Chain A
Amino acid sequence: MNEVKEQGTRLQFSGNWLIDAGILGFVNLMEDVYGWDLKSNEWKLPVEDVELQGRFFFAFWYKIISETVEQWLNKDNLKKKAFNMSVKEKIISNVLDILKQNKDQIILKTDFQDIPSVKESILCFNKKCKESICNEFQYYKDALNKKYSQNKKTILENLNSISFIAYSEFFTNLSIFNPSTNKSGNESTILELFSKLVCHYSVRNGSDILDKSMNVFLFSADDFHNIYFGSPPTLKKIEDVYRINPTYVLLSVPWSFIKIQENHFFHTNSLENSYHIHRNLQRYKENLQTNRKLLDITWKVVIDFLVERKSDFSLENLHIIEYSSIDPTKQQIQNVEYLSISKLNATLLLDETMRENLNKTIPCNENRKRIKYVWLTEQLCNERPLTPLIVKHVELFIKKRNNNKGKNVTSTPIYLSLGTSLYALMIDANKQKLSINELHFNHDFFMGYSELVDDIKKDVNYIRYASDAFSKCITDENEQDLYILLATIKGNDRNQYLNLLYRILVTSKEELDRKWVSDYAFKNIIKNKNTWTYYGLALILKAIKTCKKK
């Protein structure tokens, strides 16, 4: 039994994303504070190891306090008169420097096996933080903005009224972070409560229930809808199942997310993969300033890493947990999405050409003169069809071009991304072909859809020739016909589409080109009742793009 317990305490992913998010967060936390490497030996986690407990104690509070300090310093603390970018930067860098020095000293001094001394260190660190902030802002006392406690207090007044500089959106439901508890002079009580939480799993008045107060992703205990079938889980049960201290894990969840426009956690089947993805993204994030570019490279980073490790299996099991923010007033998490990549999409994304073409944002909609961009990879992972987006993209392109021509107004023209559109259309077409007359668990499913990617590429190459030929058949007089063709595709009217297409071809003088197009139409539109719209649209894209240049 002991052996099993020892083995079980080695850090590894459990398969439950919430627990795994916590494990990754815990690793990140310990690495940030103590510089532990993932491969080092400290990661054997006996549940009742006192030293680890002490280290977690300090790391957690250090992280929360330093994050809160940074957050507060970045607020508009100073009124406009005294406000100066250089002043603000100077204050921030001064305070953060002091914090870092203090941290290193405290870690050297503290004996982590002795919990009271750890508590002492936390208090000492908090005190140092308060002092350094007070010192920096004392000079600007009269020019301070009231930004705290619902805009009633300045930063200095607020510092006097609280005990810990600790605020976390993630744990607003936890009693220790409640404003009524976090009052000045309450320091030791708060640490006592925290100690009970970590050691005795006492979340609320001695109960060890696992609900919203421990993690915002969960319901509160009253809202558990399946109460008749099973009561909400408790921390003790989690310990029994996963054989780790659940509070370490659950309190570390926030540090597994990385903010790229929204907060993302990339859950794979192994801790190592998730950890390295997180690291790589973090590194890119520090180097790249614009968020937009980061969004583009995210998939490159994730998929390149997984391909490098030859873990196709991981990509199929990649889940992305995403939320935009946490509403502090309602204490509610906002816009949570759970994305997963199906086997089919994983096959597509693992191919480099396919990924290059899909990993793009295309302009699709216009709302109040602002163009809305859509990221195709995300749509694909969300199992949404790409074709409607391509239709919108083409329509927007035509609209913008016509606007520019008629009024001579130079609103920003948009670029019709031909390659991306063709790939998107063919992916949809080939996916739909798979579903016709086929069972779900067919031969392709078990072979990992080996032919699908080749089929898509073949289609795209064929279409490139055909659409090239078609654009040569189009004259300036035919331009209007292109828009009618587009309308027939939207209306799913195959007869009208083919009729108009052949009328254009019959009038065309390019004999070789029209034979190409006719051949293409015969194979992909006439004989293909189910997915003709994709091929029909793909055929006319190039002509739409080039018709005004002639």
Chain B
Amino acid sequence: MDILWFSINTKGDKNMQEEININKVKNHAKESYDRQSGNYKRKLLYNLLAAIRNNDRNKFLNILFANLNAMSKDGEQKSLADDLMTQYENIQGPRFETYAYAIIAGILASDDDNRAPQKNTREVDKNG
């Protein structure tokens, strides 16, 4: 009976851990691309989607890393890169799809550059 409970719990833990990882990746992707121009992101997303469509993991990561590298090296971009580094082994086969779309969802959820200043002014107002 103990063994049975144990096996169920580990399965649950594994799923939970994976969900946390996916959420983390998505959030970091969002933070990385906040305050980037809409057109720039759109172009990137098209390229990434084309790579996922063909299930081409190498191309996907290639485009993404190249892009992250080209951007200024803030903490946020670094954290996404770190995530991908740690999850590199995990992002394979069927899991690749999940992580890749999580990144896409994160990029899409990020704010465009024309919105970001408004947010800042509001914060300044509040503080003031």
Residues of A within 8 A of B (CB): 437, 494-496, 498-499, 502-503, 505-506, 511, 514-515, 518-519, 521-522, 526-527, 529
Contacts and interface: CB of A to CB of B under 8 A. Distances in A.
Interface in B68-124: 94, 97-98, 101-102, 104-105, 108-109, 112
Contact of B12 (A437, A496, A506): A437
A290 B108 CA distance: 54
A328 to B, nearest CB: 57
B60 to A, nearest CB: 12
A292 to B, nearest CB: 46
A527 B109 contact: no
B38 to A, nearest CB: 8
A522 B45 contact: no
B3 interface: no
A280 B101 CA distance: 55
A437 B11 contact: yes
A503 B47 CA distance: 11
A415 B121 CA distance: 49
A519 B55 contact: no
27 contacts: A437-B8, A495-B52, A495-B53, A495-B55, A495-B97, A496-B53, A498-B52, A498-B101, A499-B49, A499-B52, A502-B45, A502-B101, A502-B104, A503-B46, A503-B49, A506-B42, A506-B49, A514-B108, A515-B108, A518-B105, A518-B108, A518-B109, A522-B26, A526-B101, A526-B105, A527-B19, A527-B102
Contacts of B19: 527
Contacts of A521: 101, 105
A527 B108 contact: no
Contact of B105 (A495, A503, A522): A522
Interface centre among A502, A503, A511, by most chain B C-beta atoms within 10 angstroms, is: A502
A496 B97 CA distance: 11
Contacts of A506: 42, 45-46, 49, 108
A527 B98 contact: yes
Contacts of B55: 495
A544 B42 CA distance: 26
Given A437-B8, A437-B15, A522-B105, 17 more contacts: A494-B97, A495-B55, A495-B97, A499-B49, A499-B52, A502-B101, A502-B105, A503-B49, A505-B108, A506-B49, A506-B108, A519-B105, A521-B101, A522-B109, A526-B22, A527-B19, A527-B98
Nearest to B97: A495
Closest 3 CB pairs of A and B: A522-B105, A526-B101, A518-B108
B21 to A, nearest CB: 11
Contacts of A526: 22, 98, 101-102, 105
Residue of A437, A515, A521, A522 ringed by the most chain B CB atoms within 10 A: A522
A519 B22 CA distance: 13
A515 B15 CA distance: 26
Contacts of B8: 437
Interface in B15-60: 15, 19, 22, 26, 42, 45-46, 49, 52-53, 55
Contacts of B94: 529
Contacts of A499: 49, 52-53
A521 B26 CA distance: 12
A495 B96 CA distance: 11
Nearest to A511: B112
A518 B108 CA distance: 7
B49 A502 contact: yes
B20 to A, nearest CB: 11
Nearest to B23: A527
B95 to A, nearest CB: 10
Nearest to A509: B38
B99 to A, nearest CB: 9
A456 B52 CA distance: 32
A46 to B, nearest CB: 54
Contacts of B101: 498, 502, 521-522, 526
Contacts of A498: 52, 97, 101, 104
Contacts of A527: 19, 22, 98, 102
A505 B104 CA distance: 11
A498 B52 CA distance: 10
B109 to A, nearest CB: 6
Tell which of A511, A521, A526, A529 has the most Cβ of chain B within 10 Å.
A526
Nearest to B106: A522
Contacts of B97: 494-495, 498
B102 to A, nearest CB: 6
B27 to A, nearest CB: 11
Nearest to A496: B53
Contacts of B22: 526-527
Nearest to B8: A437
A527 B105 CA distance: 11
Max chain A Cβ within 10 angstroms of own Cβ: one of B42, B46, B94, B108? B108
Nearest to A501: B101
B17 to A, nearest CB: 13
